Amino acid sequence: MTKKKAKIVEEDGCQVRMIHLDRVKRARDEAIPEKEMRRLALIFKALSDPTRLQITLALQGGEMCVCDLAAMLNISESAVSHQLRHLRDLALVKTRRDGQMLYYSLDDDHVADLVKIGLNHVRE
Amino acid sequence: MTKKKAKIVEEDGCQVRMIHLDRVKRARDEAIPEKEMRRLALIFKALSDPTRLQITLALQGGEMCVCDLAAMLNISESAVSHQLRHLRDLALVKTRRDGQMLYYSLDDDHVADLVKIGLNHVRE
DNA sequence: TGAGAATCTGAACATATACTCAAATATACG
DNA sequence: CGTATATTTGAGTATATGTTCAGATTCTCA
């Protein structure tokens, strides 16, 4: 049995406890770039809110306009618009204008994939 | 060209604007159960924070203890512990005790899948 | 061009959350 | 047992976020 004790390491002027130097090192080496990591977190965050998740699920069935989404979700059109802007900023949805109406649809195949895999998980 | 105008519908005692009754109806019919939806949102939320996402990524390389994760992420062990509790509450990670040490590892294959698919998206 | 329709925006507010610090647990081992 | 080690917990705080409300935009078409 390996009985290890934490090693105190000086790092960035701070005392850091570390037990498996090799694992910490490996994890740091394998870490993805900061930028990708933040972006990835934002994608997940987009799907982490019930309203946005429901919007995403609804749009998998085809494009919809703001007021239909609001009616379906039973919240104000303003709230829907705010959330759609959020999704649009992340390029997860796109719009098509037809007269006075804006139709929103999914702009990313991976988003649908993420939701499907997530659903499999939840349903097990 | 179909020029539609919103229909005002009485619902739950509120006036609701609705343009495509069929689409709203379909979206409502296809909607997943409230409970599954909330759970799914929680899973995504777990991955939506940079710290938790990095913990998840690190654990894909094998189990790690709290202080190693703290050293790797350069944050306090307390902060890591709080986030691990969050992940454990959702059954995304599990622990194995060896003496004084608790080793955390992923407890869900889908989580790794989600992160991988997400990464593909980000890298395109 | 001007009224109406659909959507967007900004401010305000209430809630949620991620971290730090200090103290409490839990386990090992002399 | 009693001390040291590893982790957890709770309070406190600062920040982020989701919604509503009121009003501004944008576009259509009579």
Ordered by where they begin, the domains of chain A are 7-32 (no CATH), 37-123 (1.10.10.10)
Is B13's pLDDT higher than 80? no
**Tens digit of each residue's pLDDT (9 = 90 or more) over A57-75:** 999 999 999 999 999 999 9
Residue B9: predicted pLDDT: 86
Amino acid letter, B105:
S
Dist. CA A116–CA A108, nearest whole Å: 13
* Tokens 């593909």, located at residue: B120
Cβ neighbours of residue B2 closer than 8 Å, sequence gap 6 or more: none
Residue A50: predicted pLDDT: 97
Is any atom of nucleic acid chain C found less than 7 Å from the CB of residue B76? Answer: yes
pTM attached to this predicted model: 0.92
Residue B1: predicted pLDDT: 41
Amino acid letter, B53:
L
Sign of the dihedral through C-alpha A51, A52, A56, A59: positive
Question: What are the b/e assignments for A62-74, b being 16+ CB within 10 Å?
Answer: ebbbbbbbbbbbe
- Under a CB-based contact definition with an 8 Å cutoff, are residues B6 and B20 in contact? no
Cβ distance B68 to A3 less than 8 Å, yes or no, reads no
Phi and psi dihedrals of B62, rounded to 5? 130, 170
Which is higher by pLDDT, A44 or B122? A44
Which of A92, A94, A85 has its CA nearest to residue A114? A92
Is any atom of nucleic acid chain C found less than 7 Å from the CB of residue A73? Answer: no
Residue B6 DSSP one-character state: P
Cβ distance A19 to B47 less than 8 Å, yes or no, reads no
Residues of chain A contacting B104 with CB distance shorter than 8 Å: none
Cβ distance A36 to B110 less than 8 Å, yes or no, reads no
Q: Which two tokens stand for residue B99?
A: 């003496």
Is any atom of nucleic acid chain C found less than 7 Å from the CB of residue B87? Answer: no
**A17 CB near a chain B CB, below 8 Å?**
yes
Could you tell me whether strands A101-106 and A93-98 are parallel, antiparallel, or unpaired per DSSP bridges?
A: antiparallel
Cβ neighbours of residue A81 closer than 8 Å, sequence gap 6 or more: A66
Facing A40 at nearest CB: one of B74, B77, B119: B119
Dist. CA A124–CA B14, nearest whole Å: 37
**Tens digit of each residue's pLDDT (9 = 90 or more) over B48-103:** 999 999 999 999 999 999 999 999 999 999 999 999 999 999 999 999 999 999 99
